């Protein structure tokens, strides 16, 4: 795994798309890995009783997937400085969460990426990720 250097990234560059199939296993295992035991993230009956279509991703997982999306592209030496997300529609089990991203700016080694995470119902999470990349050479 190689890390992008600052000079390799310019505003306007597109990140490769990442599509995550939200199987019940993904939703449940991520909820538990983030220590979120709220029933709507692992118990289908309870989720439906509260008016949801099915179990859905918890916010800690959404944040984790946004982080992963950017580091998958940037490489292991990239350092994430911040993630700002506007939360939208729920990401239900059985749906697919697809991330797209665009570099909006770079100042020295500091890069800002706009990330969009969409599901079939619309925007699940959208926002910006700020990171630093090592210099060339």
Partner 1 sequence: MTEAELRELAGKQAALGEVRGAPGPDPVNAPMIRHWLAAMGDTNPAYLDKGLAPPAMAQVWTMQAPRQGRSPVDDPMAALDGAGYTGVVATNCEQTYHRYARVGERLTPATRFTDLAGPKQTALGVGYFATWNVTWYGDGDEPVAEMLFRVLKFRPRQGAGEERPPYPLQPAVNQDTAFFWEGAKSGELRIQTCADCGRLRHPPGPLCTRCRSSHLTYTVASGHGTLYSYVVHHHPPVPGRETPFVVGVVELPEGVRVVGNVVGCPPGEVEIGMALRVAYRPMDDRLVLPMWIPEEP
Q: Exactly one of 8, 11, 68, 104 binds partner 1 (CB under 8 A); which one?
A: 68
Give the whole-angstrom CA distance, residue 91 versus residue 55.
Answer: 9
**Interface pattern 115-134 for partner 1 (x via CB under 8 A):** ------------x-------
Q: Exactly one of 66, 91, 119, 133 binds partner 1 (CB under 8 A); which one?
A: 66
Q: In the complex with partner 1, which residue's Cβ is closer, 9 or 83?
A: 83
**Is 64 in contact with 30 (CB distance < 8 Å)?**
yes
Give the whole-angstrom CA distance, residue 112 versus residue 130.
Answer: 5
**Is 21 in contact with 96 (CB distance < 8 Å)?**
yes
**Interface pattern 79-98 for partner 1 (x via CB under 8 A):** xxxxxxxxx-----------
Identify the three-state secondary structure at position 18: strand
Q: In the complex with partner 1, which residue's Cβ is closer, 10 or 121?
A: 121
Q: In the complex with partner 1, which residue's Cβ is closer, 10 or 23?
A: 23
Give the whole-angstrom CA distance, residue 48 versus residue 55.
Answer: 8
Interaction between residue 32 and partner 1 (CB under 8 A): yes
Give the whole-angstrom CA distance, residue 82 versus residue 127.
Answer: 11
- Give the Cβ contact number of residue 106 at 10 Å: 18
Q: In the complex with partner 1, which residue's Cβ is closer, 10 or 81?
A: 81
Residues that bind partner 1 (CB under 8 A): 1, 20, 26, 29-30, 32-37, 59-68, 71-72, 76-77, 79-87, 127
């Amino acid at each position: 795994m190689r890390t992008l250097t600052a000079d390799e990234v310019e505003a306007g560059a597109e990140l490769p798309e990442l599509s995550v199939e939200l199987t019940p296993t993904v939703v449940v295992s991520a909820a538990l890995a983030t220590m979120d035991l709220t029933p709507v993230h692992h118990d289908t009956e309870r989720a439906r009783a509260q008016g949801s279509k099915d179990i859905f991703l918890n916010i800690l997982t959404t944040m984790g997937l946004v982080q992963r999306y950017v580091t998958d592209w940037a490489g292991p030496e990239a350092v994430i400085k911040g993630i700002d997300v506007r939360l939208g529609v729920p990401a239900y089990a059985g749906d697919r969460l697809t991330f797209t991203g665009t570099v909006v700016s770079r100042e020295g080694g500091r890069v800002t990426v706009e990330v969009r995470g969409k599901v079939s119902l619309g925007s699940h999470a959208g926002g910006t990720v700020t990171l630093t990349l090592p210099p060339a050479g």
